[in-house]
Amino acid sequence: MGNCAVVGVNWGDEGKGRMVDLIAEDYDVVVRFQGGGNAGHTVVNEKGSFALHLLPSGIFRKGVVNVLGNGVALDPENLWLEIQALRDKGIDITPKNLRISDRAPLLMPWHRRLDELEEERLADKKYGSTKQGIAAFYSDKYQKKTVLAGELFYPDELRCHLKDISEWKNLILTEVYGAEAYTEEMLEKWISDFCEPVKPFICDTGAFLREAAAEGKRVLFEAQLGALRDLDYGICPYTTSSNTLARYAPIGAGAPTVVPDEVIGVVKAYSTCVGEGPFVSELFGEEGEKLRAEGREYGAKTGRPRRVGALDLVATRYGAEVQDASVIAVTKLDVLSCMETIPVCVRYRVNGAETESFPFPALLAGAEPVIERVKGWGCDISGARKWEDLPEAARSYVDMIEKAAGRLVRYISVGPERDSIIIREA
Ligand code: GDP
Instruction: Burial-class residue 118 by CB neighbours within 10 Å (0-12, 13-18, 19+).
Output: middle
Q: Ligand 1 atom 17: the closest Cα is on which residue? A: 416
pLDDT of residue 139: 95
* DSSP classification of residue 385: -
The full length of the chain comes to 426
pLDDT band at 39 (very low <50, low <70, confident <90, very high): low
Pocket of ligand 1 contains residue 37 by CB under 6 Å: no
Distance of CA 41 to the CA centre of its chain: 7
Q: What is the DSSP string of 64-80?
A: PEEEE-TTB-B-HHHHH
Upstream peptide bond of 56 is cis (omega within 30 degrees of 0): no
pLDDT band at 366 (very low <50, low <70, confident <90, very high): very high
Pocket of ligand 1 contains residue 13 by CB under 6 Å: yes
Q: Calculate how far, in angstroms, residue 421's C-alpha sits from the geometric centre of ligand 1.
A: 12
Q: Calculate how far, in angstroms, residue 334's C-alpha sits from the geometric centre of ligand 1.
A: 11
248 or 129, which is more confident?
248
Over range 200-216, report the average pLDDT: 96
The whole-angstrom separation of Cα 289 and Cα 13 is: 18
The whole-angstrom separation of Cα 376 and Cα 394 is: 7
Q: 335 Cβ partners below 8 Å, 6+ apart?
A: 269, 270, 291, 294, 295
pLDDT band at 300 (very low <50, low <70, confident <90, very high): low
Over range 396-422, report the average pLDDT: 97
pLDDT of residue 68: 97
pLDDT band at 100 (very low <50, low <70, confident <90, very high): very high
Pocket of ligand 1 contains residue 407 by CB under 6 Å: no
Q: Calculate how far, in angstroms, residue 18's C-alpha sits from the geometric centre of ligand 1.
A: 6
* Structural domains in the chain plus CATH codes: 4-104+202-264 (3.40.440.10), 109-199 (1.10.300.10), 267-423 (3.90.170.10)
Do the bridges between strand 341-350 and strand 311-312 make them parallel or antiparallel, or are there none, so unpaired? parallel
Over range 278-307, report the average pLDDT: 89
pLDDT of residue 201: 98
Q: Ligand 1 atom 9: the closest Cα is on which residue? A: 13
Which one of 49, 228, 331, 423 would you pick to mutate in the ligand 1 pocket, going by the greatest count of ligand atoms within 8 A of its CB? 331
Backbone φ and ψ for 52, nearest 5 degrees, come out as: -95, 140
Which one of 18, 38, 409 would you pick to mutate in the ligand 1 pocket, going by the greatest count of ligand atoms within 8 A of its CB? 18
The whole-angstrom separation of Cα 262 and Cα 254 is: 18
Query: How far is it between the farthest Cα atoms of the chain?
Result: 67
What mean pLDDT value characterizes the chain? Answer: 94
The whole-angstrom separation of Cα 222 and Cα 225 is: 10
Backbone φ and ψ for 233, nearest 5 degrees, come out as: -115, 0
Q: What is the pLDDT of residues 159-205, one digit of tens each?
A: 999 999 999 999 999 999 999 999 999 999 999 999 999 999 999 99
pLDDT band at 412 (very low <50, low <70, confident <90, very high): very high
Over range 327-352, report the average pLDDT: 97
Q: What is the DSSP string of 316-380?
A: HHHHHHHTT-SEEEEE-GGGGGG-SEEEEEEEEEETTEEESSPPPHHHHTT-EEEEEEEE---S-
Pocket of ligand 1 contains residue 414 by CB under 6 Å: yes
